[in-house]
Amino acid sequence: MHSWIKIIFLPTQLVRNMVMVACACAHQAATGDGAKTFVIFLSSLLQGLLMALGKGVAATASPVPRRGQRGNSCIGRKEIAQSLVAFQTRVLDQVVTQDLGKHFLSAFPHRTAGIERPMLESIFEAYLCGRIGRTHLKFLSQLGCDYYYLCMPCETGSNETLNFVNDCFMELHTAVTGLPVSSSRVLDGLVLQRDFVAYCPADGDIRMLIVTDSILPALSASGVEFIVNTQVQYQASQAWISKRTEAVMKYLQNHKVKVLLSRAKQEEMVIYYAKLSGISVVHCLSPEEVSLLCRITGISPFRYWDNIHSEITETATAKFCRPILLGSKRYVHLGFSGTSAFRPHCVILCGPVHGVTEQHASAFHGAFKMLQLLFKAVDQTDRCKEKTEHPNKSSDALGCSCHSATPQKFKTEDVMHSSDKTTDQQLNVIRSERESQLTDSAMGTGENPAFVQKDLQKSLNLAVPITEIENDKFPGLTNKSPFLGETENLHLKYRHPSEIQVKGESKPVVSNQHICKVATAVAGNTSTEVVPRHLSTIKDCWKESSELVPFEDESSYKSSVQNYSDLFIQAGSVLPVGGNFEILLHYYLCNYAKQCQQSKISIISTVIADALLSIPEILYRTERGSGFPKFYLEAISALRNNQPLPRPQKGLESVYCKYLLVASVLHCVTKLLSVDLIIGIKRLPQITEANDSEEDL
Amino acid sequence: MSRIEAKKPSLCTSAPLTKDTVSHSMSVLSGILKSCYGPTGRLKQLHNGMGGYVRTTSQSSTLLSGLSATHPILKVLTASVQNHVSRFSDCGLFAAILCCNLLENFQRIKLLPCTVAKISRHLLSLCTDYLKSEACACRILVDFNSIETLLCLVRSVLTSKPACMLNKTEADYIGILVIKAFLLTVPNNVETNVALGKCIIVPVKNKRVMDSTVFPGLLIEIPELQMARTFPIRRVSSSSIKIALFCISLSGDHSSTGEGTVVVHHGVSLELAELDQLLNLGKQLVNDQVGLVVCQKVIHPSLKQYLKEHHIIAVDRVGLSVMEPLSQMTGSKPIAAIYSLSPSCYGILKDLRTENFVSKHFLHLIPNDTLVCSLILCNRNETAWDELKVACQTAEHVLQLTVKQPLALLGGGCTETHLASYVKYEVFNLPTSTFESLDCSQAQYQLVADAFCHSLESIACCLEHDNGEILTDAVYGHFWSIPSGFPSDATWSDLVSKCGCGMHSNQQKLKWMVLRNQHSPFTPQSCCKDPCVKSPDLRALDCFVAKFSGLQVAVETANLILDLSYIIEDQN
């Protein structure tokens, strides 16, 4: 799998679609949401990229691929694929954390307490409205909230509960057809989708035992031979089996076991003796149900039948155990006091037909998956640790690639400051933002980055290293693809200092902007004096420890650093629904593209930024004819004037899910673009058994 | 598998409801269902072109399981109605026709499906709130002390199934039997957890309906040969017979030997060993003074013979279905072992008799506490018997549902017309804030409400199949029908005699009007202040729970179908 991954499969034109669908499904499975957005975004991104390819991204890039021209076209595509990877780790993460970060709302307004009900409701509603019809939206959101709060033991970690619900959701819900949706409800305890084979009513606390195998002793076990010598011996052994089963049940009765939950099917005789001993029996439970029961009760299945005189330790206590009639079927209803992570409740989903209950169940499950991601804090340092394996080696590699390349304007001494690039980059961002406000060119600047670049370089010597590195990257990486991953990790890791600057919102940025402005206008030496001081500080700090130290002369950063330095996206970060995330990302990516001197990254940023708009475009198109342009203009002007975004809907959605969506679409595009040729074959690539297939074909 | 086949792409249909084929098959289905509705509904014959059994029916459960709907939209509709019927037994046709009517009328008004869904849900909540409220004028409290209301409820179920071929006396007779059978399944001692017993229907075909009868206890069919030789039997006392109930086979076959192998030495016969044990069991049964042995599976002939010699009646192969009622009514626990039987697993019977019915012979097990009864159901031919059986089961289920919630709705179309006039009146007086909260205009709301009321009225009109005229009155909003061919100069008050449910007659000075014409909304009034009316003339009542749920299911399913903008079918 060096540079071209070849996908070999039968119907050629479907392969791309299949890859897309597979990626979308994988994304949906992981986050519980976003399959539709995935496809919309992906298709408009691909269109955008093909258009960009057509125009010619770089001088080396070839025109749009056609049949017979694959050999040429793949170079351009491959470069795009690689710059997409670079974009994700270098630009996307930064923009999401830094620029979008200030727009995030928190689902936990009071840090210690859990999420409040109106907040949770609006998150549920926003999620469910894409998955189920509007008719039952309100009702199911309420049901979801009820379920969340009922399952949640007070004041403890919600993530554990959510993990539990997500793992066991198939067992925690019961679908009932033939009843209106409004009959759906949350029940205390668990519903096992079996009926009692023996039911003996019992009150008070009920001791129960879980078994996995049949209790009835057999004449012979596997691999054992049972020899019958006489009739009497045979009769005696039959009688012993009966007596033994009776004794086991008496033993359970003596230990006050009232309910026997079994995974295996139990023989008639076992059920008979259980009934005589006043023990209720439920058998043929699924392995998942058994594991859920074990998790809730904290016991493990009972196996020690050899010694039926010892104390039974593996019992759990149920609050109640009774049959329940749901629809036209009878199930077992068990009540538990629960664990510290989960108060057992189950949800009954009713609907007129099976399809409706299924849809509601999957939407419900997805909502809890989404909550799980929402409540997870995304740690940047963790991500770095996972990714970066050889940081030193990678920095060497970077140096190498930079040196070996032949850029137009290359300054060797600045490469030594490769770690400073983010700081400079930041300056560029701010400056270009400023510029764009001055020139009032909202979208068009993406096409003339050269102007900005030139301007910048005239004014700031510092700006050079970034651009050079970025320029080098493509030739360098196509030649030395093994270094690809590491190079990115390096950038990622070195991004911390830059965060420091951006997080300080008000004063410092202004001062920097001021500096930039001055720098642009005067093109004097002041800025070069100011910035190296910063750089050296950062460098020193970085060498001493991986902890981030704020700038000595700008104490106002301190608090923001402490707030944001170790978190990439905070737990519970949400944004209003209705394309807010997309608009914000679009806006900041455009800004980035305007200041970015590297043409490929700049173009890719613009393409992605434009593709992002396809999502709000669809969202607003369905409502009224001119919905989207109006929304777009309002949103962009609000952003320019630092006003809050328009918010036509009151739902909220998880930022992390949205971020994951963009990241996985980029990943998928990369995957698609790195395939240059599809070969149709008539069987699966790996056939281990060739005996019958040879004849068949 | 080593070979793979190219997958066919899925078939995607957009806006399925607007397609001709769909609307055509929808109207065919709706036509079939509508023509079956009510006591004068037309019958349908279901038969396979290959020959075989022909079923004559007008019931939704039989019809829908017999019709094979192929289009996904029809499947949703039929599945939803079938699910309703499996839960409530009754009001299947009501739900299905209402759903068809709603679909038809909502499509006609050409609003966005989500707007229609929002408004119709609001209308539905108006209806359900009203039906649940004390002020509801179309429901009555069911008094279990009077047989009149119960009989009316049961008779409505029976007469709405004309394929049962019952005349009025027969319907009354069967109705009484069903109520009797139901009362027998109610336990004598009511504790906290009341569990109703079971009524077992025993088929006797090709006999008059009036020969049907109900027995407390259980009837088990036995061959004639066995009859003569069994009596007298062993009794513990004059009024108690011990019964042993086996759920395992007593045939002497080997029980399972486990996963390993069993090696039998030459000269050792396992069959003999098993039989030996069976006879030991017989001995114990004799010692324990058991009078009757019932086995779900097979009893070994030698054991049978042994038991007979000791005046114990042995009945085998009774099947799983009677095991639970048997154990319930005798208090015995089904035995699954042949060693050391515990005395606590035997049950007690009050008496044991034989009954002859036509050419069939039954053992009649009479328990102390009747929780179980047997309904011998007769009808002239097989298909009419099948229909009657389902009707009786429905009636029994309706009674069970009514015990849980002792309410009934006025039948004969009166609930529908009353509800329609109630909705019309409510909509007329809705505050404007309602429209704002629903995010729709008053005109939109009015359109949907008209379609909704029209659907309700249409279902009432389906009761009339002979081109008669349907009227409603401007006071109670009840349903009145007049036969076709009336003289043009006659006044309506001369033509009408009684409303659909029989609560009102033409004696009252009411103002009648044609049902589906536009008329100004009025408050439908409650007929009398006493909610527990005992009008002896009450003609028809419907099960409250079933109709209530049927209404909800119909509206929900209609909204669901309207909301479908694509159908994607996997063709693989």
- Global ipTM: 0.88
What pLDDT sits at residue B144?
87
- Chain A residue numbers with beta carbons less than 8 Å from the beta carbon of B556 are 135, 180-181, 351-352
What pLDDT sits at residue A153?
81
Nearest CA-CA distance, residue B337 and chain A, Å = 6
- Name the β-bridge partners of A105: A574
- Interchain pair B273, A177: CB under 8 A: no
Q: Would you list the domain boundaries of chain B?
A: 16-138+410-569, 143-217+376-405, 218-254+268-369
Other Cβ atoms within 10 Å of B267 Cβ, number: 8
Nearest CA-CA distance, residue A597 and chain B, Å = 46
pLDDT tier at A177, thresholds 50, 70, 90:
very high
Q: Are A383 and A492 in contact (CB under 8 A)?
A: yes
Size of interface A-B (CB pairs under 8 A): 173
What mean pLDDT comes out for the span A247-259?
Answer: 92
Q: Could you give the residue ranges of the DSSP H alpha helices within B133-252?
A: 147-159, 168-184, 224-230
Q: A410-431 pLDDT, tens per residue? A: 333 333 343 333 334 443 444 4
Pairing of strands B407-410, B541-543: antiparallel
Q: Which residues 291-330 of B are in CB contact (within 8 Å) with A?
A: none
Nearest-angstrom CA–CA distance, B424 and B523:
9
Complete DSSP assignment for B339-373: SS--GGG-EEESEEEEEEETTEEEEEEE-SS--EE
A212 versus A9: the higher-pLDDT residue is: A212
Question: Most B CBs within 10 Å: which of A8, A13, A15, A135, as the mutation test of the B interface?
Answer: A135
Give chain A's mean pLDDT: 70
What mean pLDDT comes out for the span A682-690?
Answer: 58
B517 versus A591: the higher-pLDDT residue is: A591
Nearest CA in chain A to B565: A133
Nearest-angstrom CA–CA distance, A59 and B22:
56
Instruction: Supply the CATH classification number for the domain B143-217+376-405.
Output: 3.30.260
Nearest CA in chain A to B125: A182
**Gyration radius (Cα) of chain B, Å:** 30
pLDDT at residue A535 tops 50: no
Other Cβ atoms within 10 Å of A188 Cβ, number: 16
Other Cβ atoms within 10 Å of B189 Cβ, number: 6
- Chain A residue numbers with beta carbons less than 8 Å from the beta carbon of B85 are 178
Question: pLDDT tens digits, chain B, 572 residues: what are they?
Answer: 455 666 788 888 888 888 898 999 999 999 999 999 999 999 999 988 888 888 999 999 999 998 888 889 999 999 999 999 999 999 999 999 999 999 999 999 989 888 999 999 999 999 999 999 998 989 999 988 888 889 999 999 999 999 999 999 999 999 999 999 999 998 877 766 677 889 999 998 888 999 999 999 999 988 877 666 666 777 878 889 999 999 999 998 877 777 778 888 888 888 889 999 999 999 999 999 999 999 999 999 999 999 988 989 899 999 999 999 999 889 899 999 888 788 889 999 999 888 888 888 899 999 988 889 999 999 988 999 999 999 999 999 999 999 999 999 999 999 999 999 999 999 998 999 999 999 899 999 999 999 999 999 999 999 999 888 898 888 888 999 888 888 877 788 788 888 888 888 887 778 888 887 777 778 777 655 444 455 567 889 999 999 999 999 999 999 999 988 889 888 87
What mean pLDDT comes out for the span A153-164?
Answer: 75
pLDDT at residue A406 tops 90: no
Return the percent helix, strand and coil in chain A, to nearest 5: 60, 10, 30
What pLDDT sits at residue A379?
65
Q: Which two tokens stand for residue A220?
A: 């012979």
**Which among A223, A353, A683 has CB closest to B76?**
A353
Q: A95-105 pLDDT, tens per residue? A: 888 888 888 88
What pLDDT sits at residue A394?
36
pLDDT at residue A12 tops 70: no
What pLDDT sits at residue B188?
78
Nearest CA-CA distance, residue A11 and chain B, Å = 7
What pLDDT sits at residue B53?
84
Q: Which two tokens stand for residue A657?
A: 């899910």
pLDDT at residue A402 tops 50: no
B571 alpha carbon, distance to own chain's centre: 36
A73 versus B504: the higher-pLDDT residue is: B504
Nearest CA-CA distance, residue B341 and chain A, Å = 10
What pLDDT sits at residue A56?
53
Helix (H) or strand (E) holding A567: strand A567-569
Nearest-angstrom CA–CA distance, B164 and B180:
20
A524 versus A221: the higher-pLDDT residue is: A221
Nearest-angstrom CA–CA distance, A201 and A193:
19
Q: Which CATH superfamily groups domain B218-254+268-369?
A: GroEL (3.50.7.10)
A159-173, A483-497, B433-447: segment of lowest average pLDDT? A483-497
What pLDDT sits at residue B278?
93
What mean pLDDT comes out for the span A57-84?
Answer: 54
Query: What does pTM read for this prediction?
Result: 0.79
Q: Are B98 and B456 in contact (CB under 8 A)?
A: yes
Q: Is residue B477 less than 8 Å (CB to CB) from chain A?
A: no
A454 versus B268: the higher-pLDDT residue is: B268
**Which among B2, B273, B339 has CB closest to A683?**
B2
What pLDDT sits at residue A419?
38
- Chain B residue numbers with beta carbons less than 8 Å from the beta carbon of A234 are 268, 270, 273
Nearest CA in chain A to B259: A222
Q: Are A348 and A187 in contact (CB under 8 A)?
A: yes
- Interchain pair B258, A226: CB under 8 A: yes
pLDDT at residue A141 tops 50: yes
Q: B298-348 pLDDT, tens per residue? A: 999 999 999 988 989 899 999 999 999 999 889 899 999 888 788 889 999
What mean pLDDT comes out for the span A201-215?
Answer: 90
Tell me the CA distances in angstroms from B270 to A88, A219, A267, B251, B275, one per residue in order.
76, 13, 21, 13, 9
Other Cβ atoms within 10 Å of B272 Cβ, number: 12
Q: Is B528 exposed, middle or buried (0-12, 13-18, 19+ CB in 10 A)?
A: exposed
Q: A212-244 pLDDT, tens per residue? A: 988 888 888 778 888 888 889 988 988 999 999
pLDDT tier at A110, thresholds 50, 70, 90:
low
Q: Are A427 and A516 in contact (CB under 8 A)?
A: yes
Q: Which residues 32-91 of B are in CB contact (within 8 Å) with A?
A: 76, 79-80, 82-88
**Domains in chain A, CATH or no CATH each:** 26-54+73-107+572-674 (1.10.560.10), 190-219+228-343 (3.50.7.10)
pLDDT at residue A520 tops 70: no
pLDDT at residue A352 tops 60: yes
Other Cβ atoms within 10 Å of B521 Cβ, number: 15
What mean pLDDT comes out for the span A34-39?
Answer: 86
What mean pLDDT comes out for the span A428-456?
Answer: 39
Question: Most A CBs within 10 Å: which of B83, B277, B345, as the mutation test of the A interface?
Answer: B83
Q: Is A466 exposed, middle or buried (0-12, 13-18, 19+ CB in 10 A)?
A: buried
- Interchain pair A133, B117: CB under 8 A: yes
Residue type, A394: S
- Interchain pair A272, B256: CB under 8 A: no
- One fold for both B16-138+410-569 and B143-217+376-405? no
Nearest CA-CA distance, residue A268 and chain B, Å = 6
Question: Most B CBs within 10 Å: which of A134, A330, A353, A692, as the mutation test of the B interface?
Answer: A353
What pLDDT sits at residue B547?
96
Q: A297-338 pLDDT, tens per residue? A: 889 998 877 777 788 888 899 999 999 999 889 999 999 987
What pLDDT sits at residue A501?
38
Q: Which residues 172-211 of B are in CB contact (within 8 Å) with A?
A: 193
B16-138+410-569 sits in which CATH class?
mainly alpha
